[in-house]
Amino acid sequence: MLRLENVKKHYDGFDLDCSMEVKRGFVTGLIGKNGAGKSTTFKLILGLVGREGGHVEIFQKPVEQMGPKEKERLGVVLSDSGFNGVFTIQDLVPVLKNLYPRFKEEAFLQKCRDFDLPIHKKLKEFSTGMKQKLQVLTAISHEAELLILDEPTAGMDVIAREEILDLLREYVESGERSILISSHISGDLENFCDDIYMIDKGKIILHEDTDILLDNYALLKVTEEQYQKLDKTYILRRKKEAFGYSCLTNQKQFYQENAPQIALEKGSIDEVILMMIKGEEK
Amino acid sequence: MKGLWLKDMKLLKNQKSFLAVIAAISIGFLLSGQNPSSVVSYMMVMCSILVISTIAYDEQNNGLAFLLVLPVSRKQYVREKYALGIGLMLAAIVAGEILSVLVSLIKPSVYEKEGWIVVLLASVLMAVLIQSVTIPIQLKFGAEKSRIAMLVAIGCVALAAYFVVKIADSRHMDVGMGIVQLVQNDRILFVGCGLIVAALLMGVSYAASLQIMKKKQF
């Protein structure tokens, strides 16, 4: 569905060099702290900024060749952009109907009502969360095959976030559609994505299936003495702590079996990110 | 492109008060005995400014980036803005003429058929010039910086016109008289020349806007 190969972008004080892939039927997450390069990656994918190297393919076609026909197959949420605030949802319906031949007017309006979005109110009077909901509902209103969602749950309360994620889960149920989603709320992605890319300072520092990430990754809490004796074959990162070291492993079972005396914490995405970014290589 | 067109129509709907002010001033002009063709000219110039306002609306809060992830190419976006400009010009002519006829029912005015075509063509040229300069500038510099760029551009156009007249003067050519003679001797040639100049201006401006949009980063 989507492939980035050694895509490079340079800004003053920031360099992005990114390779990633979103497969058909997959929900792929892109996670990283603010300024890590998530939005730049999205803009490169959508051809909104030029790149200095590498190539981007959507639907097996270089992004430069992507015309309106291909864009009809995309649903996009941008974190810092959207429809002008002077419009109402009612105003947008004929516009969307004419832009997307497969636009489902009734379903779109019904979903807007379900999510308590006022049809006749100007968008500038919407809260941030409401605007994001509208963008997501727009993205799924025309049977897009690939959703590219940059921080789609930003500004939403926990209930709205869960509702939107449920809606997206339902959307990809058929297995024919894919999603690339970014969020700085790792909990959103933990229970939603099939695989996750972690980005930091413009580089992909980890790519893993979510199940593996949650099942096989763990934090070992070891004293200085335990650390010296520890088999470090499967230690990815370590971090100095008051008690000794925290060590990130991607082979939880190995340490459970071979060092049962060591305190072991199940890895959450937040912990993995923290260790991958802040931790040092062994 | 129809979707973009509809979007701009919705945006213009939000400019109701601006349109009402244009209509009110035009009616005022007509009632005060102004030549109807100069009112049409005024309406055309004002309507040309509306194209720029739709681009400014699109650019608000980085909205242009979002428009371009919809099934719209950069080329289509530029093309639609120029089509809108021409559409608004034609609408201003029709609205101005209708208004003139309606006001003349209340207050009959002398309708100078002789001068009509000259003023109308001059208005078209002026409106085309405004659009040709302002659209690429707005696309290149955005809402904030384009104000300064616009002032510089207007200054350049005024300077260019001044030098054309000066050079003509130094060669003992009267530009105004030349135009009047052309109108009197060969009206078809005059209209043809005017339309060719307008088309050239717009063509160059469209090509520049297209390049600007193709290179635009978001």
CATH number of the domain to which A184 belongs: 3.40.50.300
Contacts of A76 in chain B (CB under 8 A): 66, 69-70
pLDDT at B135: 93
For A132, the token pair is 């994001």
SS (H, E, C) chain B: CHHHHHHHHHHHHCCHHHHHHHHHHHHHHHHCCCCHHHHHHHHHHHHHHHHHHHHHHHHHHHHHHHHHHCCCCHHHHHHHHHHHHHHHHHHHHHHHHHHHHHHHHHCCCCCCHHHHHHHHHHHHHHHHHHHHHHHHHHHHHHHHHHHHHHHHHHHHHHHHHHHHHHHHHHCCCCHHHHHHHHHHHCHHHHHHHHHHHHHHHHHHHHHHHHHHHHHCCC
pLDDT band at B96 (very low <50, low <70, confident <90, very high): confident
Torsion angle of the four alpha carbons B125, B130, B131, B132, in this order, in degrees rounded to the nearest 10: 80
Nearest residue of B to residue A91, measured between CA atoms: B10
Max CA distance (Å), chain A: 69
Quick check: A94 contacting B, CB < 8 Å? yes
From A189, A212, A235, give the residue that closes a domain. A212
**Using CB atoms, which residue from A49, A71, A80 is nearest to B70?**
A71
The verdict on a CB contact (< 8 Å) between A81 and B65 is yes
If you average pLDDT over every residue of chain B, what do you get?
85
The Cα of B59 is separated from the nearest Cα of chain A by a number of Å equal to 9
pLDDT at B148: 77
pLDDT at B201: 92
The total number of structural domains in chain A stands at: 2
> Smallest Cα–Cα separation from A183: which of A136, A222, A146?
A136
Is residue A8 classed as helix, strand or coil in its secondary structure? strand
Quick check: B9 contacting A, CB < 8 Å? no
Query: Has residue B143 got a pLDDT over 80?
Result: no
pLDDT band at B40 (very low <50, low <70, confident <90, very high): confident
Q: What is the rounded CA–CA span in Å between residue B100 and residue B27?
A: 8
The pLDDT tens digits for B65-79 are 999 999 999 999 999
pLDDT band at B29 (very low <50, low <70, confident <90, very high): confident
Query: Has residue B6 got a pLDDT over 90?
Result: yes
pLDDT at B116: 73
A176 and A272 part of one domain: no
Tokens 């400019």 -> residue: B15
Instruction: Check: CB of residue B50 under 8 Å from CB of residue B18.
Output: yes
Q: Which domain range does residue A266 map to?
A: 217-278
Residues 6+ apart with CB under 8 A from B140: B146, B149, B212
pLDDT at A124: 94
Quick check: B175 contacting A, CB < 8 Å? no
A155 and A231 part of one domain: no
Query: What number is the ipTM of this complex?
Result: 0.88
Instruction: Count CA atoms within 13 Å of residue A237 on its CB side.
Output: 19
For A162, the token pair is 């869960």
A47 and A102 part of one domain: yes
Instruction: Count CA atoms within 13 Å of residue A92 on its CB side.
Output: 28
From A212, A241, A259, give the residue that closes a domain. A212
Query: Has residue B174 got a pLDDT over 80?
Result: no
Contacts of B2 in chain A (CB under 8 A): 98
A157 and A272 part of one domain: no
A63 and A172 part of one domain: yes
A157 and A56 part of one domain: yes
The verdict on a CB contact (< 8 Å) between B63 and A83 is yes
The pLDDT tens digits for A172-204 are 998 899 999 998 888 888 889 999 999 999 999
The verdict on a CB contact (< 8 Å) between B217 and A49 is yes
Q: What is the rounded CA–CA span in Å between residue A265 and residue A217?
A: 9
Position with higher pLDDT, B165 vs A157: A157
A91 and A127 part of one domain: yes
pLDDT band at B104 (very low <50, low <70, confident <90, very high): confident
Task: Give B78: exposed, middle or buried? Use CB within 10 Å, 0-12, 13-18, 19+.
Answer: buried
Read off the pLDDT of each residue in B198-211 and give the average, rounded to a whole number.
Answer: 95
A78 and A192 part of one domain: yes
The total number of structural domains in chain B stands at: 1
A171 and A221 part of one domain: no
pLDDT at B158: 80
Quick check: A100 contacting B, CB < 8 Å? yes
Position with higher pLDDT, B159 vs A169: A169
A207 and A223 part of one domain: no
Quick check: B17 contacting A, CB < 8 Å? no
pLDDT at A156: 87
Q: Which domain range does residue B24 map to?
A: 2-215
A205 and A256 part of one domain: no
pLDDT at B111: 58
CA distances from B163 to A32, A117, B160, B168, B196 (A): 59, 59, 5, 8, 22
**Using CB atoms, which residue from A68, A91, A94 is nearest to B73?**
A68
Residue numbers of chain A with a pLDDT score lower than 70: none
Q: What is the rounded CA–CA span in Å between residue B117 and residue A180?
A: 59
> Smallest Cα–Cα separation from A171: which of A213, A139, A203?
A139
Instruction: Check: CB of residue A59 under 8 Å from CB of residue A213.
Output: no
Contacts of B70 in chain A (CB under 8 A): 71, 76, 99
From A212, A238, A263, give the residue that closes a domain. A212
pLDDT band at B110 (very low <50, low <70, confident <90, very high): low
The pLDDT tens digits for B184-200 are 777 778 778 888 988 99
A132 and A108 part of one domain: yes
Least confident of A38-42, A266-270, B60-64, B135-139: A266-270
Convert A99-135 to b/e letters by CB count within 10 Å (16 or more is b): bbeebbeeebbebbeebebeeeeebeebeebbbbbbb
